[in-house]
Structure 1
Amino acid sequence: MAPIWFLSLLFLSCILLAAFTHKKRRKNQQPPSPPGFPIIGNLHQLGELPHQSLWSLSKTYGPVMLLRLGSVPTVVVSSSETAKQALKIHDLHCCSRPSLAELFSVKRVHSIQPIKEEEVKKLIDSATESASQKSPVNLSEKSLDLTASVICKAAFGLSFHSTVLNNDGFDKLIREAFLFLGSFSASNFQMVAGSSTGSRGVEDFVDLLLRLEKEETVPGYGKLTRNHIKAILMNVLLGAINTSAMTMTWAMAELIRNLRVMKKVQSEIRNQMRNQSVITLDDIDHLPYLNMRSCLNLRSMAIGRDPESWKDADTFFPERFMENNIDAKGQNFELLPFGSGRRICPGMYMGTTMVEFGLANMLYQFDWELPEGMVVEDIDMEESPGLAVGKKNELLLVPVKYLGH
């Protein structure tokens, strides 16, 4: 019995030693990681503003670090070189996404341009009324209203103003995004599908998704299901509406704090437009200073603030893009507001045209001032938490109608 007991103990010890050695070897192959707690992992270290916390952690643990968000291991990349490794060189191992390019193609973005023009006109009319009364405009609210109106019409063929969302605190619904996930049923859109095609001759997003569900298989992912459609629609709503509205708000906040930049971009727009009363999407291509897009990277952290790539990265200085060929389209890993490679944001063109078109018209039609009694130092630039980081407090500015056209 003794030899059997001894052999059993020896065998068990060998197994435990092998397991410990394998675990240690695997651990040594992993990126550095801050110490965490059982069950919650590193969740407690993310804080109220996770992007700020991750940036701070990257300074201690390097450009590639491993976090455990609960039981989910998550690799955080914080430099342009490591981003290139993940998104370009090893993209097949790190990234994948079903191809739905038709949903956000250049042709489709141009097809909804009449919707953008109609909704921007409503914004301009509303701001003109405020200008006549010298009253402030809530640009945070107006930006959200503009993007929501465009996306609702493009996605569902319905006006945002005619839906119950417009009366039930849509801003709150956007912020509490999880409420949307269970609220959309593709069957509810059957009566809407096709209704807008006859009036505008344009297939809306729901029409397209229902057609893909019936006709096509997405390569590598099989057929689209109703759950896929609900998830895509949620991404269209949350991604397109919230991020575009936030970017417009941050851009106007930075411009009012940097009047030199505001005057320069207004001069470019007004010189280009001459006596035209309306800016079109084609006009945007002839506005290089507006297109420098430093505003699109205002809240990107780590990679977009790497001192090896950017001088004075926290300074709002659009001219920095005149000094290099770096843009935000995913080819330059020093600036990745939309990601890159297989994980690039499919709605990049739709988002940038929405932001640029809205900003161009607001800056063309109006000069902007702070409310009475406010100075630049009073502008609150505090951030709100979330996947897309918005301005915590609403931006109120007074429009002054430009009469030079």
Structure 2
Amino acid sequence: MNYIPPLDLTQQYQTLEPDIRQAVTDVLASGRYINGPVVQTFEQQFAAYIGTADCIGCNSGTDALLLALRAYDIGPGDEVITTPFTFIATAEMISAVGATPVFVDIDAQTYNLDLNQVAAAITDRTKAIMPVHLFGQPVDMTRLMAIAQAHGLIVIEDCAQATGATWQGQKVGSFGHVGCFSFYPTKNLGACGDGGAVTTSDGAIAEKIRLLRNHGQPQTYCHTVVGINSRLDAIQAAILTIKLGYLDSWNAQRQAIADRYYSALSQIDGVDPPRAIAGGQAVWHQYTLRLTAKAADSDLRQAIRQQLQAQGIGSMIYYPIPLHQQPVYAALGYPAGQLPVVEQVAQQVLSLPMFPELTPAQQDHVVSGVRSALADVVTQVLKTPA
């Protein structure tokens, strides 16, 4: 069997190539490359899809987080509660506005923020909570919003990996005060370059974000606040508009793959495959399992990855170093063991190939590869004298 990569974007493009070529050509012919009607059309359609009054396109998911934080005047002296198990952009943008990220441990099943620990992390400096719907698995937003409302806190949803995911039938990105999305090419809804968006039903916040993303100018050469240059270009908006029509079917294909993976992998000792929690509909941006075999650690994981690679199966590790243990956040003073679940999970997770075009035969090969690699590596480890 040919090599199975963790992600393959070429098949998606081949399917959509005629439509994408035409859309890009139309934008080029129009001469309207920044903002304009094509961007506005996508913003309107994406807002309707998520279920919010407004969508504001921007340059990236990272900028979406930055714009959201700035829109609520979060800055020096403020604290924002978030997860240590995510891409650095989540905490990085909290730091970028001068606020302090406060890390709370994760739930061992979903890898999302442990809501049992959030309330204890709230102080008189806490201004917001930033949940991350990691790997496409939705956070329990009913419970999180209740916590936030009880303490008068802003909720900024990091939906970068979860476009289309729902909690109790409602799309993520429509629960919090704002939702922040990434359209990086690898995402479930990915552009052919960078792109992002903020969703909200607060009209005043939407206007403030539009102002901030365009150099703080309500009209040309009149600047009322210090903003940034973070606009979604029309070519990417045109591509995203096409892909949005396919997103639900792609997510359904991901769900079918996840179901098949779970059915097979749950039969293998030493593997804890992910599964959706009651009330949530995941979109499986990544299919990330835990290696729980005896002697499971980062060395065993690397050995398993090597064996998978030898069998033509790609894999990834998201994320090997939790944010509270990153050198950039050493000054925050989190001692080893303070967040025990994430520290253990980070040593055990392994992401398997996941994309809508993954065939049943490829899925079977992945499962077979995991089974044989785990058996071989664990046997070798246990036979090796301490």
Same fold (TM over 0.5): no
The two structures have a TM-score, normalised by structure 2, of 0.27
Query: Greater helix share, 1 or 2?
Result: 1
Point out the structure with max Rg over C-alpha.
1
Query: Greater strand share, 1 or 2?
Result: 2
